[in-house]
Amino acid sequence: MTMYRYYAVIEREKMDATGAFIVSFPDLDNVFTDADTLTGAVQNAEDVLFTMLEEMENDGDIMPAPSKADVLKSKLPEGASLIYIEVDTKSVGN
């Protein structure tokens, strides 16, 4: 198990009356989460990233290389933010 670092995109949901924060990981297919608060969105992003990467490790999958920030910033939707999420898959259960 190891340390992983990926960028996440956080956007405010415009179609939802609550204005929830939606988080996606451009380098990882189908890895999403959300929360009602920005703090909750970041915590959920850490949790979902950890869970998905740990599962990928257990399955023997090859981890995609993280994109560089400048590449991702050029593709950000209007009003979205880019945050750096770091998880250590060996830290749990030890």
The CATH number of residue 34's host domain is 3.30.160.250
Q: Does residue 93 form part of some domain?
A: no
DSSP, residue by residue, the chain: --EEEEEEEEEE-SSSTT--EEEE-TTSTT-EEEESSHHHHHHHHHHHHHHHHHHHHHHTPPPPPPPPHHHHHTTPPTT-EEEEEEEETTSTT-
pTM for this entry: 0.86
Q: Does residue 75 form part of some domain?
A: yes
Q: Does residue 94 form part of some domain?
A: no
| Residue 11: domain span | 3-88
Q: Does residue 78 form part of some domain?
A: yes
Write the pLDDT tens digit of every residue in 12-70. Answer: 987 666 789 999 999 999 999 999 999 999 999 999 999 999 999 999 999 999 999 99
